Amino acid sequence: MCDVAGSIGSVVSPVLEVGKWLVVPISHQFKYLFNYNTNFKNLEKEVKKLKNTKEEVHDQVDAAERNLGKIKQNVKDWQNDVEKAITKVEQLIQEKADNQRYSKGLCCNFIIHYKHSKKAFKLKRDNVDPLLQQGKELGPVSSRTNPLLEIWLRSSEDYLAFESRNSTMKNVWDALIDENVFMTGVYGMGGIGKTTLVQELGRKAKMDQLFEDIVFVEVSESPDIKKIQTAIADNLGLKFENESERAKALYSRMEGNVIQTRELYSLPNDVCKECGGLPIVISIIAKALKNKSRLSDWKYALQELRAPSPAKFTGFLEKDYTKIALSYKYLRDDELKKTFLISSLMKNNTSILDLFKHVVCLDILGGVNLTMEDARDRLDKLVDDLKDACLLLNGVESEQFAMHDLVRAIATTIAYVDHHVFTMRNDVERDWKDRDKLKKCTKISLPGNNTIISQLLPSDLDCPDLEYFSVSNMSNPSFEILKDSFTMLSKLKVLNLVELQQLSLPSSIIVLTNLQTLCLDNSEIKDFAIIGKLETLKVLSLQELDIEVFPLELGQLTQLRLLDLSDCRQLKVITPNVISQLSKLEEFYIKGCPIKWKHEVLKELKLLSNLTSLELDIEDNNVLPKDFISKELRRYKITIGYEYYEDPRSKYLRILEIACNSPISQEELYGINNVEVLRIVKSLDDEEDLDKKQMLPLFNEKVIFTNLMVLKLVNISFGRIWKSQLSTFSFQNLTQMMLVKCDKIKHVFPFSIAKSLEQLQYLMIKDCKVLDKNVEKERTEVVNFIFPRITKLELTDLPKLTIFYQGTDALELPILKTLKIVRCPNFTLRCQSFQDNNEDGEIQDSESKSIFFGQKILSYSS
């Protein structure tokens, strides 16, 4: 027995000893399980900082390259390492999300959580944290860094197209686009409008993207060369490290730093000749070859330009296909190429939001775990890059884009040849009837009145690789999508059926198990039951549908991230407990809908923790929950208490419009202070105690709007807008102010507020009956300088207005461009430093008056 006991003891003792050694590492491993959520939160927090630093460095690199800077290798290496680290983090976060969605079994969860938590901890420690620290220590990204300055060009407001000018204009323009002309002169006696004509040509050349940069510099009769060089350099954002290299640096910065190098000989001219003198082609090729210094690059470009186009294309396509296709080949990555090709399927002046709906689920925008906001930012950058390459153009409005017809034709051809994209622009009958080619088809974009699609549906649309199917303008009531139309489209991700004249969708739509985007804008759809079964949907657009009640079936779309119900003019009721089910919703657009909002339904919106973009109208501000507008909202257009109006060209992201009948405090603005555009109107239920209101300011002293850029007040009943002791930081970024029909206000600004509005550029005051001065005097000293940045001043229908500011003999408006004074019979304005070349505007009145601009007197009368 003793021997046995001794044997047991000899076994137990080592086990205990080993146990002691294992306690520390095992407890350390358990920390990965205990800190699972913490490790991921820390990782996500730090990688967000890293992304911000990455964007900052990227901007610095862009600026440095524009200023002829050579980017340091350690900066390039850091950028590459950051991209790799971010990709690893996003993949891990996606793995975590997939595990939560599909995991089964407690033990399995523990093992996976342990592995993921450990990866998260090490990724932060070994990758993200060191890269963040390196980012802080990078220093200058190149040997030259300089913020880019805005290139000044006169607007076209002053230009009058006299018939006598037209022939001269045409001659100069023809010379500008002639590749063999390198210098053009305009001559004539003084005062006939040479400067104005040249400025107008510059504006037109800039708008048509004829040149990348346009600089306007006035040269005197006895030119100061150094001064001229400095002016050009300032406009181009160029600084000289060595004054002796001034001319050389300017020369390099202006045609690029490669085109005149001796090694290239005549290649640039040969390439330009192959462009056939067409400005759009020259611009595109120039952007593609900018800063290409290797001889092989130019030889390859020339070879490509001279190569025949695909044999099946004739006419201008045969001549110009290779020219624009070359620029497409030079795009730096697949994201740009794919975005360009999808853009070619859209009509001109399509909104970037609509483009976003079409591309966000097509694996075009990088990063599997991007939020909708991150993807939007990414798309904005891609669109800007394509505009820089002259492959996209600005649309009519700020959030739109367009494409030159020639570029579009080439783009759809490239899409057809390289990616089997079928459109009407390559309507080759035999190809549509070729079943083998249809089976390779990846995208189809057609107008609804086309006969081909009705011939193909349903049995012949056998496209197993089709991921994008768009049929627009389906206004023909005889056209019908039959019940089996989608049976052979198993990979379809995006389905766009605009103006579909059917009450319900075909039953075969439920076989589209990969469908992520569905757009039914302006359709006749009434039956939404089947849409609720599309569980994979992430984007649903139902603009301008005639629905009266928010469909209950939409509550089943738990993966939905973007929902657009804009301008559904019959939509009045939203059933409770439906919106709150859309827990992953990030963007919600429901403007232009006459909904009778209830307090409990609006509270549901607050429960959507991922929501970052919101557009809606609320008729009754009494139903608003406290702190309704969350600080997480990055984009919003919200109207409270009156009919919504917005400038369609608005470039701002955060717009709030409210009806008001009592002084506004920060609390009454629902705690929000990041608004960019604020419009306030008189409430319809405004109380009658106007005498009391006349003594009260609209904004109390606690109101802070550090990001506010535009303020418009319409028909308010207050006698004052601000209290004089208001924080000067509150409105410091205000650039535009409009005051309309405010009949109780006698003066707009207290002096203390006026002097803090250094960014104000546009001031418009109209139809204010008792207003007698713009700035109220608060001090005895004379101050001559109030609004240094105003470029446009409009004063209309102000019968009592006499002066701008009582405390000054003259008002300095050094960069004023437009002055409009209409029906202000008692007003005299004295301005100093009003530049002659800025003079513009409309001055009308019932009595003769004078406006003084320094030593010059401008008389006006009706």
316-336 confidence digits (pLDDT tens): 556 666 667 777 877 878 889
Tell whether the model's pLDDT for residue 261 goes beyond 90: no
Q: Between residues 715 and 695, which one has the greater pLDDT?
A: 715
Mean pLDDT of 65-75: 77
- Cα angle, residue 78 at apex, residues 75 and 81 outer, rounded to 5°: 155
Q: Between residues 360 and 219, which one has the greater pLDDT?
A: 360
Distance CA 666, CA 689 (A): 23
- Most confident of the ranges 93-102, 246-255, 376-385, 687-696: 376-385
What is the pLDDT at residue 849?
45
Q: Is the dihedral of CA 172, 177, 180, 184 positive or negative?
A: positive
- Most confident of the ranges 69-73, 215-219, 542-546, 677-681: 542-546
Mean pLDDT of 364-388: 85
Kindly state the helix (H) or strand (E) to which residue 148 belongs, with its residue range. Answer: none
What is the pLDDT at residue 269?
67
Q: Between residues 458 and 678, which one has the greater pLDDT?
A: 678
Mean pLDDT of 149-171: 57
Mean pLDDT of 282-305: 68
Closest by Cα among 801, 803, 807 to 824: 801
What is the pLDDT at residue 675?
86
User: What does R_g of the chain's alpha carbons equal in angstroms?
Assistant: 33
Q: Between residues 817 and 854, which one has the greater pLDDT?
A: 817
Band of residue 570 on the pLDDT scale cut at 50, 70, 90: very high
What is the share, in percent, of the chain residues with pLDDT greater than 70? Answer: 68
Q: Between residues 448 and 570, which one has the greater pLDDT?
A: 570
Tell whether the model's pLDDT for residue 556 goes beyond 80: yes
What is the pLDDT at residue 430?
66
Mean pLDDT of 279-305: 67
Band of residue 736 on the pLDDT scale cut at 50, 70, 90: very high
Distance CA 680, CA 221 (A): 53
Kindly state the helix (H) or strand (E) to which residue 268 belongs, with its residue range. Answer: helix 267-274
Write the burial class of residue 5 (CB in 10 Å: 0-12 exposed, 13-18 middle, 19+ buried). Answer: exposed
Write the burial class of residue 373 (CB in 10 Å: 0-12 exposed, 13-18 middle, 19+ buried). Answer: middle
Cβ atoms of 488 and 463 closer than 8 Å:
yes
Mean pLDDT of 714-742: 82
Lowest mean pLDDT, pick from 309-313, 405-409, 591-595: 309-313
How are beta strands 811-812 and 849-853 bridged, if at all? unpaired
| 654 three-state secondary structure | strand
Structure tokens at 702: 């606690």
What is the share, in percent, of the chain residues with pLDDT greater than 90? Answer: 15
What is the pLDDT at residue 560?
95
Distance CA 201, CA 295 (A): 35
Mean pLDDT of 723-739: 78
Strands (E), 593-746: 613-618, 635-640, 654-660, 677-682, 710-714, 736-740
Distance from the Cα of residue 152 to its chain's centroid:
23
Cβ atoms of 644 and 618 closer than 8 Å:
no
What is the pLDDT at residue 161?
56
Distance from the Cα of residue 828 to its chain's centroid:
42
Structure tokens at 641: 């208490």
Output the average pLDDT for the chain: 76
What is the pLDDT at residue 521?
93
pLDDT in tens, 452-491: 766 666 556 778 889 999 988 776 666 677 677 787 888 9
Q: Between residues 846 and 528, which one has the greater pLDDT?
A: 528
What is the pLDDT at residue 811?
66
What is the pLDDT at residue 527?
87
What is the pLDDT at residue 861?
35
- Most confident of the ranges 151-155, 453-457, 696-700, 726-730: 696-700
pLDDT in tens, 428-454: 566 777 778 888 889 988 876 666 766
Cβ atoms of 510 and 486 closer than 8 Å:
no
Distance CA 236, CA 216 (A): 11
Mean pLDDT of 619-648: 75
In DSSP notation, 103-117 reads ---HHHHHHHHHHHH
Mean pLDDT of 367-376: 82
Distance CA 525, CA 522 (A): 9
Amino acid type, 231: A
Kindly state the helix (H) or strand (E) to which residue 794 belongs, with its residue range. Answer: strand 792-796
Tell whether the model's pLDDT for residue 107 goes beyond 70: no
Place of tokens 């909202």: 633
Cβ atoms of 576 and 601 closer than 8 Å:
yes
Q: Identify the bridge partners of residue 618 per DSSP, sorted by sequence position.
A: 640
